Amino acid sequence: MLDFDGTIADSLPAAIASIQQMLAELGYPPQTAEEIGTHIGFGERSLVAGSIGQKDEKLIEQAQTIYYKHNLENIKQVKLYPHVREFLELYKNKLKTVISNKRDEFIKLILEKHRLKDYFAEIMGGDSAPCLKPDPCAINNVLKKYNVPPARALYIGDMTVDVETGKNARVLTCAVTYGFHDAEKLKQTRPDFLVKDLLELKDQII
């Protein structure tokens, strides 16, 4: 099981750029990537609401619509991280799913653009998953559906929330250091594996 943003695709810059465009269009003060980054990892609604500093549902919905418009354009330029395709091909016969807080539509568009969608049995994003990370219910549902014992499952992500989610589901966890959180921050959550490249896992997954 894999996270998406920061793990499979380098889509975080597109999300940040889209927020910055949204803020400008709505007349909110500009924010740096670091400021926007504090709201990343918990779904688009949380990202938008946190970025505009509002709790009013109508304002959040208005901002989300504008964010989605810009992100649909920006994700056309999203690239994969090194060796993602090779990793998926290497384990093409293993059950793989995407479990992410990102909007399903964006995940599928990027996967289809790079012709990766067929590698995954399921894509569970912020729209289709019954919960958002760090709640483990999406992982638990996958384990139950495909009759996979937790000890035989691995969740791979780039943020501390991903490691926390995997631990909450009692599956093995792997943190990649090329995404949004650096190695030192990830080490604090004590993942089972910490890698700079997905292909480092080839001797660990059997």
163-192 per-position pLDDT tens digit: 999 999 999 999 999 999 999 999 999 999
Residue 125 backbone phi and psi in degrees, to 5: -105, -170
* Shared domain check, 66 and 102: no
pLDDT at residue 195 is higher than 80: yes
The predicted structure's pLDDT at residue 23: 96
pLDDT at residue 5 is higher than 70: yes
* Shared domain check, 70 and 33: yes
**pTM listed for this prediction:** 0.90
Q: Is residue 7 part of a domain?
A: no
User: Which residue type does 113 have?
Assistant: K
- CA within 13 Å, CB half, 5: 26
Q: What are the tokens at 102?
A: 């990102």
* Shared domain check, 98 and 69: no
- Which residues constitute the domain of residue 45? 12-77
Average pLDDT, the chain: 94
Q: What is the mean pLDDT of residues 66-89?
A: 95
pLDDT-based confidence at 204, cuts 50/70/90?
A: confident
Strands (E), 11-163: 97-99, 122-124, 154-157
Higher pLDDT, 126 or 18: 18
Q: What is the mean pLDDT of residues 24-37?
A: 94
User: Which residue type does 82 have?
Assistant: P
pLDDT-based confidence at 1, cuts 50/70/90?
A: very high
* Shared domain check, 155 and 118: yes
- Classified as helix, coil or strand, 176 is strand
pLDDT at residue 206 is higher than 70: no
The predicted structure's pLDDT at residue 42: 85
Q: Is residue 3 part of a domain?
A: no
Domain containing 196 — which CATH number? 3.40.50.1000
Q: Is residue 99 part of a domain?
A: yes
89-123 tens-digit pLDDT: 999 999 999 999 999 999 999 999 999 999 999 99
The predicted structure's pLDDT at residue 54: 86
Cis peptide before 134 (omega within 30 of 0): yes
Distance of CA 115 to the CA centre of its chain: 18
Separation between Cα atoms, residue 87 and residue 115, nearest integer Å:
14
Q: Is residue 129 part of a domain?
A: yes
User: Which residue type does 136 have?
Assistant: P
| Cα angle 105, 45, 130; round to 5 | 65
The predicted structure's pLDDT at residue 40: 87
Report the number of distinct structural domains present in the chain: 2
Counting Cβ atoms within 10 Å, is residue 76 exposed (0-12), middle (13-18) or buried (19+)? Answer: exposed
* Shared domain check, 104 and 72: no
